[in-house]
Structure 1
Amino acid sequence: MTADLTHRDASPDDASPDDASPDDASPDDASPDDPAEPRTTVDGRLTDPRKPPRASRQQALLLAALATVITALGVGWAFSPSRAGATDMLSSLATVYVPGAALTILWLRRRGELRAQLFPRAGDLAFGALAAALLYGVTMGASLLLSPHGSPREAWILRLYLHLGGPDVVNRMILGGAVFGIAALEEIVWRGLAMRALMDPLGPVSALLLSTLLYGLAHLPTLILLGDPAAGPNPLLVIAALGCGLVWGRLVLLKGRLAPAVFAHAFFSWAVASFPLWRP
């Protein structure tokens, strides 16, 4: 009886802290490391740690400009007359795109997007190959229209393939494999870094258009380097960069990932190198 009265008369103030209801916990007691809590960055912006950190407009434009400059320098070096030949040309492009792709991978990893963006899924390889085949067919038709056989403009596509070593280059399969790898690295840099960064402040459509324009501008050195005295400046690679850049960027937006576009770009470039659009 005494024990029962003692239990009933116990003051609420004597209750153990362990008996407190979770609903009574103060919001101030929440752990600062709670992943659901927003963070304040150095520049005062709130970020949700469950989502990738957004690039500011300044950061995005800087990354896109960096991709444009290094690509233009690499293209200018690779297509200079002194670098003619498959080995010299491709090694020049690799010098630019290997560190560029490494930077992109680190950037995607820091954002927590590397696996989602770049790791292939079932069907990516087939989808990329199909997109590349369709694009190859369109490119073949465009090349016949822009540089038809027997016209002075035929020199445009002739100069492009001569710079690669000519249509009858030995070990064409090795050449195709090297081109496949370089194209994959290029796609990682352009759609994985430049376009991806621009999507944060500009949105997907504007990022697609601006990154494609910059991609075309980065190939402007080939206007002169692959030009011909009779046919004039060579626009083929600039036109190809603009058209293909739109397609590959659209694939990224369509699939929401980078891997299918990487396969599409790599297979397309491999096909152009292994099955030349021009024959003497």
Structure 2
Amino acid sequence: MTSLPPPPGPPPPVSPARWAPPVPGPAGRPRPTFAPPRQPHPTLPISAAGGALAVLIGSLFGSKVLLDAVLRYEWPVVAYVALLGVVGYAPSLMWCTYVSRRWGSGAFLADVGIVPRWSDLGWGPVAWLAAVGTQVFVGALVLAFDVPLTSNTDGISELTQDRTYVVSIVITAVVAAPFVEEVVFRGVVMRGLLSRLPVLPTIGLQAVLFGVAHIDPVRGVGNIGLALVLTGVGAAFGGAAYLLRRIGPTIVAHAIFNGVVLLLVLTRVAERLQD
């Protein structure tokens, strides 16, 4: 009787994956490799964006109401500026910190898009130039169509003799405002809108909200032109933040933007240009 062959044994063990050199292509050259696809932009819940807007607008309105209530005490001008800064911006930072802990990783800077790099100092001026170009273009359209336009720097040059006021307004406009507004609009609001909308509507809507947030009822219909111009600026900052995936450059650009405007106002160059 013919004997049957022995049953096959277990399959040979598979060695762990190891690095292998690239397979040569034509003429012995390695085949090209491609970079892995970039990760999608980080997003936040839309409620985080809505809360950030509500807190910022409410705190700015509340700071002006509070200012009107304490003007009769005749405090130093620097005290009023400090009051506006603390009451107007501190609640927004508190909300964004809550957002980071509730819906983010808990690392506040990273969750709002602040990843400091030396290149931010180079991209910042580029974003500023884009904002200035957009401002000039939208401003020209506003003037061409005779849309009412007022400045949000009226009255600053009248208090330049008070050095403490000048220092405090510079700190508020060049340091505090750029940081807080970029964290709110490009760090939280834009990420919240990205969770529901495509890219272009997101950039456009956050820009409109940025412009509307600068409306002051005292200026009346002049707010229309001001909001349109600042909407263009917000679109430039939003586009830069989206393309660069961080807001460090837009904080730098925003600081330069406010600083140049403040310099023109404090030196009265803006008045001479208008004349």
Sort the TM-score into its range (normalised by shorter chain).
Answer: 0.5 to 0.7
Pairs aligned (count): 227
Could you tell me the percent identity over the aligned residues?
A: 18
Question: Is 258-267 or 72-81 further displaced after alignment?
Answer: 72-81
Which of 255, 265, 268 pairs up with 2:254?
Answer: 265
Q: Paired residue for 1:214?
A: 209
Q: CA deviation at 1:250?
A: 0.8
Partners of 1:125 and 1:260 within 8 A in 2: yes
Q: Paired residue for 1:243?
A: 232
Q: Paired residue for 2:119?
A: 123
Cα distance change of structure 1 residues 201 and 111 upon mapping to structure 2, 3 Å threshold: farther
Cα distance change of structure 1 residues 272 and 87 upon mapping to structure 2, 3 Å threshold: farther
Q: Paired residue for 1:75?
A: 60
Partners of 2:60 and 2:89 within 8 A in 1: no
Equivalents in 2 of 1:130, 1:102: separation in Å?
29
Q: Paired residue for 1:5?
A: none
Q: CA deviation at 1:128?
A: 1.0
Q: CA deviation at 1:53?
A: 9.6
Q: Paired residue for 1:161?
A: 154
Instruction: Write the letter of the residue equivalent to 1:95.
Output: A
Q: CA deviation at 1:265?
A: 1.5
Cα distance change of structure 1 residues 137 and 94 upon mapping to structure 2, 3 Å threshold: same
The Cα offsets for residues 76-107 of structure 1, whole Å up to 9 and x where unpaired, read as 23444617853332222222332144345545
1:89 aligns with 2:89: no
Structure-2-length-normalised TM-score: 0.62
Partners of 2:189 and 2:206 within 8 A in 1: yes
Structure-1-length-normalised TM-score: 0.62
Structure 1 alignment gaps of length 5 or more:
1-8, 24-49, 148-152
RMSD: 4.3
Q: CA deviation at 1:245?
A: 0.9
Structure 2 alignment gaps of length 5 or more:
1-5, 17-37, 72-79
Question: What is the DSSP-based 3-state SS (H/G/I as helix, E as strand, rest coil) of the residue aligned with 1:117?
Answer: coil
Partners of 2:139 and 2:229 within 8 A in 1: no
The Cα offsets for residues 9-45 of structure 1, whole Å up to 9 and x where unpaired, read as 89948x9xxx85479xxxxxxxxxxxxxxxxxxxxxx
